[in-house]
Amino acid sequence: MTEGKRALVTGASRNLGVAICERLAAAGMSVAAGYHTSREPAEDLVARLRSGMGGRHVAVGADVNDAGEVAAMVTAAADALGGTIDVLVNNAGPYGMTPFAEMAEAEWDAVWDANVRASFLAVREVVPGMRAAGWGRIVNLSAVSAYVRNRSIYGLAKDATVTFTEQLALELAPEITVNAIAPGQIAESLTDLGEFSRDWAARVTERTPMGRLVTRAELAELVYVLCTPAFDMVTGLTIPVDGGLRLPRF
């Protein structure tokens, strides 16, 4: 039932965004890979999708904090893929965890805007087409940081994503479902956090009840599944995928 659908994935030039694009393309969707400054990796991804899976795929650039650029990105994606966007995955979202009392306004703005405001801007652009088509899927990326209280502005932004998802689900039903995924630490992204904590890899694995970390492929699979008929009656849900890391303990 996903064959022929058109998907836009933001933050798709690297890491989890790439895995999501690959999985949706494998399911028969045409994919627009959104990027900001990393044009070449996004275009390389699109070339791989076209050669390996066929179909219409495109790289679309935008500063997702700029309303005009987001509107142009959605229009370009729809034009290139041959119709309105059916699936939106709000994946873009930088990390930051400077304590609030020490944080510069620029860091607040950068993390909050890319994680929360950018999702709002993208949703506003795709909803009219989804409503007109009578079908749409929006998947937001939260994080396990939403459930703890030591992740500063990033945790606040990902917590806001949960509320945003729930309210959108009410506003956009019945044509459109809106859900979120809250990954724990992603196995392939451990090195990205080296600057924040040298012993993070050992600590986070030790505190994960399942004994290992979630992979990008597992998260991409869940994004895809949320777009299938099996989840037609699921909306407003945030699914933690963290191996139990978020669970409180003494």
Catalytic residue among 95, 147, 154, 224: 154
- Rounded Cα distance, 184 and 144, in Å: 5
Report the candidate in 34, 129, 27, 23 with the shortest Cα–Cα distance to residue 85. 129
Query: What would the DSSP string read from start to end of 16-57?
Result: HHHHHHHHHHHTT-EEEEEESS-HHHHHHHHHHHHHHH-S--
Overall size of the chain counted in residues: 250
- Give the sheet arrangement for strand 6-9, strand by strand: 58-61, 30-35, 6-9, 87-90, 136-141, 176-183, 238-241
Report the candidate in 163, 49, 151 with the shortest Cα–Cα distance to residue 96. 151
- Rounded Cα distance, 201 and 187, in Å: 9
Is 224 labeled as catalytic in the residue annotation?
no
CA 26 to chain centre: 18
Identify any residues that bridge with 35 across adjacent strands, giving them in sequence order. Answer: 61
Catalytic residue annotation: 154
